[in-house]
Structure 1
């Protein structure tokens, strides 16, 4: 299996998550130093795929700073465009990010992101949806095709929301000068949100790269008294955790890797302990019976995303 490191939790002190206890005011300097150490530890443990975005606070800048300490062409950087971080590291902020899928925003954010070349291998529309019209914006699509040709990078998109599969299908139909534009798709997938499963084989047959995000369902895979409807899932995960002598995070990542072969699974670790626990996903395999049991906890996409919308930034 291939694990990558997502940097959303490294670039800003808050993210959408279930667990709200033990929130502390953040010292930006110490936060930055810890995030840098997580990048370094991931590299030392063999991770070579790093996913970032300007919408993740200081993450893209931090990845660039870290990358400049390396001289390793095997490091693959994926970044995005389309979100601007607005919270300014204020824990009391009510608006954390603004989405804008315009050509102007693409040009603005590319002007910084291009500094990640030549390690920059993947450039993504951040959270592409039908609603923003980005997949019909010919000026944006032409610009992305130009970047693909000039720099030899993969053009990609990330998906969020109930219409994930619809977005994937639409994107696969987009061609520029007779060639498919999109090469890679970063999609939410986990025990609860399994809609990708129905379309994964089509992507694989078309030789597209799949990257899995939110494998831990924003923390909902961990036992929580506010989610009593998942008590059977929590019981099964506790049993599997004991059986394989790993944490529930490793079970979650391993499940995704076995269900969507050849995909890259993103760890969202925010500290060294989480990272080390995530990487234990390499040390075992789930049985076919384990997989079938975990499959049974699938819920409808509308319910999944409705539940996610109620989560707070913390």
Structure 2
């Protein structure tokens, strides 16, 4: 599997990846974007910011980069960077299909992305991704799989994905919503020709929303690589926005709240790659410090006590405005 190349990376940041959701389009639901991004979020300004982040991440040992068809021009920006960096042949690239970006590069768009998990959508978006990323695409994931998704039962789609895997691209899925655990377990049961179809899973997991943890442990035990997204809960676990208890633990460790929050995720034995969703080089540097944060059991228990009921967490996320 192409994604398995990541296992050969031995840099200190080997278990941290860079997700491009925050910089591939002008609007997203992470807080603080008015301060983090260029005043004029033109295509070229966002391209420049993305390339700055990719340069900084690669220089500090990050080797996994995560995009999606719905992240505006993230695939395009990443493809441009890869062409300009022939030295980065060891970069591992993942993307996703299943949502289409429809925001027309407007911050005030009423709808920014539209979901479609049908086989026709896969065919269309796979071609779009291939035109941009070509043979640099290592991992292709179904975007935000839920238990009711037709992608779980569409055998024609499964055959297409199996053919993609046979061609050397790892096939995976991501999850979102309060029923992530059910989606993970349903996807583990999908097979083609007696072989498990999916080899990676990407889920939202953080100290506020750890409900999928047991299912991710099961996926890891089944041989899947686990990728964690939204480890900072879209900004709720960073800086002054972080809960008081997280800030207290951060003060004890001498690290920033974001690094402590990500360190708590990195401690999970099933966590293969934990994504940074940084929008600035300074945020990225702080996120990467998570690899050096040493949490004791008592501190871990205090962080675990921050967990919210999944329904509450996802209700809060859904109500967060796109900035």
* Structure 1 unaligned blocks of 5 or more: 226-232
Cα 1:177/1:261, change in 2 over 3 Å:
closer
Give the 3-state SS of the residue equivalent to 1:16 in structure 2.
coil
Do the aligned partners of 1:223 and 1:234 also contact (CA within 8 Å) in 2? no
**Which residue pairs with 1:111 in the alignment?**
127
Give the 3-state SS of the residue equivalent to 1:270 in structure 2.
coil
Cα deviation 1:42-84 (Å, max 9, x = unaligned): 1111110000011000100111111112334421101111111
Do the aligned partners of 2:173 and 2:200 also contact (CA within 8 Å) in 1? yes
Do the aligned partners of 2:216 and 2:270 also contact (CA within 8 Å) in 1? no
The counterpart of 1:137, out of the listed 124, 131, 154, is 154
**Which residue pairs with 2:52 in the alignment?**
37
CA drift at 1:117: 4.4
**Which residue pairs with 2:113 in the alignment?**
97
Instruction: Please say which of residues 102-111 and 233-242 is displaced more in the overlay.
Output: 233-242
**Which residue pairs with 1:229 in the alignment?**
none
Cα 1:306/1:224, change in 2 over 3 Å:
farther
| Structure 1 position 15 matched with structure 2 position 28 | yes
Cα 1:26/1:73, change in 2 over 3 Å:
closer
Give the 3-state SS of the residue equivalent to 2:174 in structure 1.
strand
Give the 3-state SS of the residue equivalent to 2:144 in structure 1.
strand
CA drift at 1:275: 0.9
Do the aligned partners of 1:6 and 1:51 also contact (CA within 8 Å) in 2? yes
Give the 3-state SS of the residue equivalent to 1:298 in structure 2.
coil
The counterpart of 1:65, out of the listed 64, 80, 88, is 80
Larger RCO (alpha carbons 8 Å, 6+ apart): 1
1:1-314 → structure 2 map (5 Å cutoff) = 2-19=15-32, 22=35, 24-71=39-86, 72-114=88-130, 115-150=132-167, 152-222=168-238, 234-314=243-323
CA drift at 1:133: 1.4
Aligned residues: 306
2:16 and 2:119 map into 1 onto residues whose CA distance is: 32
Cα 1:62/1:18, change in 2 over 3 Å:
closer
**Which residue pairs with 1:228 in the alignment?**
none
Do the aligned partners of 2:238 and 2:257 also contact (CA within 8 Å) in 1? yes
CA drift at 1:14: 1.4
CA drift at 1:255: 0.7
CA drift at 1:261: 3.8
Do the aligned partners of 2:184 and 2:216 also contact (CA within 8 Å) in 1? no
What value does the CA root-mean-square deviation take over the aligned residues? 1.9
2:217 and 2:103 map into 1 onto residues whose CA distance is: 39
CA drift at 1:121: 1.7
* Structure 2 unaligned blocks of 5 or more: 1-13
Do the aligned partners of 1:3 and 1:266 also contact (CA within 8 Å) in 2? yes
Cα 1:63/1:21, change in 2 over 3 Å:
closer
Cα 1:200/1:91, change in 2 over 3 Å:
closer
Do the aligned partners of 2:172 and 2:200 also contact (CA within 8 Å) in 1? yes
Give the 3-state SS of the residue equivalent to 1:68 in structure 2.
helix
